[in-house]
Amino acid sequence: MITVIGIDPDYHNTGVVTIENGRITEVRELTVPASVKGEYAVHDMIGELVWLDTLTEFPRLVVIEGQEVYANKTEAKNAVVGLAHISGAAAAMSTHVGSDWLMPLPKEWKRNLDKKASQKNIMRRLGFGYDELANHLRPLWPWDIKTSHVIDAAGLALWGYDKLLKEQMLEEELGRTAP
């Protein structure tokens, strides 16, 4: 079984989705109250990531969305730095529990699609219309769903799953052709 966790970091609503063999098995939203701002929100969200340490079965791979500062968006640079701290903490905790991790930039795993087009592709891949996701996830996660971060976390997990499958197929092919 191939287990991959996708994490879409945010100051207040970090989406976390576990995929086993290409199917969603668990959904989490790590939350920090909106009243908590700046470095305090970053600190508290990093504290929420501690749940990784409670896992009894560790994923083969954790995929965390990497952060990028865009030259034309100067107002967002401080926010990106905070998100990078959260992403780095998720990577460190993944290493601590013995899982490999990847941190692709959005353009790498979304293939330069805008957010809406990317999320529609993720939903299609999971076999849902955009509005059907909340109904499907409700048994896995009955709380109020902030679908944007959850969908991106699912996309990250699927991206990682695909990379592992390609790696596995390559290893099998090399094994068949080795002398």
Angle at 65 (CA atoms; ends 89, 156), nearest 5 degrees: 125
DSSP state of 72: T
pTM: 0.85
Better-predicted residue by pLDDT, 122 or 132: 122
pLDDT in tens, 69-115: 766 666 566 788 889 999 999 999 999 889 999 999 988 999 888 88
- pLDDT reported for residue 91: 94
Domains with residue ranges and CATH for the chain: 3-177 (3.30.420.10)
Q: Report the distance separating Cα 87 and Cα 9, nearest Å.
A: 6
Enter the tokens of residue 118: 């990317």
Phi and psi at 8, nearest 5°, equal -110, 100
Pairing of strands 61-64, 3-8: parallel
Contacts of 171 (CB under 8 A, 6+ apart): none
Say if residue 79 is exposed, middle or buried (CB neighbours under 10 Å; 0-12, 13-18, 19+): middle
- pLDDT reported for residue 33: 94
pLDDT in tens, 10-55: 999 999 999 999 888 888 889 999 999 999 999 999 999 988 888 8
Contacts of 51 (CB under 8 A, 6+ apart): 28, 30
- pLDDT reported for residue 40: 96
Query: Could you count the other beta carbons within 10 Å of the beta carbon of residue 98?
Result: 10
In Å, the largest CA–CA distance within the chain is 63
